[in-house]
């Protein structure tokens, strides 16, 4: 469903409640990259769940 890096960012930010700065240090990427990966992951999840909801309504 999500690429590995996006899963990792979502896990750290939302489930482990780490700051974007902490995640950037853990993953070895910039803080801006953490924000970008987070928003891309959220966008992908929205698309996935919208599609899932559509098929459930059929």
What is d(CA 44, CA 58) in angstroms, rounded to the nearest whole number? 22
Contact between 31 and 21 (Cβ < 8 Å): yes
Q: Which domains does the chain have, with CATH numbers?
A: 4-57 (1.10.10)
Length of the chain: 58
More confident residue, 1 or 7: 7
Under 8 Å between Cβ of 23 and 13 = yes
| pLDDT tens digits, one per residue of 8-28 | 999 999 999 999 999 999 999
The tens digit of pLDDT for each residue in 29-50 reads 999 999 999 999 999 999 999 9
pLDDT above 90 (res 54): no
pLDDT at 58: 82
């Amino acid at each position: 469903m999500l690429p590995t890096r996006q899963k990792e960012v979502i896990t750290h930010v939302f489930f482990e409640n780490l700051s974007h700065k902490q995640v950037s240090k853990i993953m070895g990427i910039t803080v801006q990259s953490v924000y970008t990966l987070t928003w891309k992951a959220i966008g992908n999840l929205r698309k996935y769940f919208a599609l899932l909801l559509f098929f459930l309504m059929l």
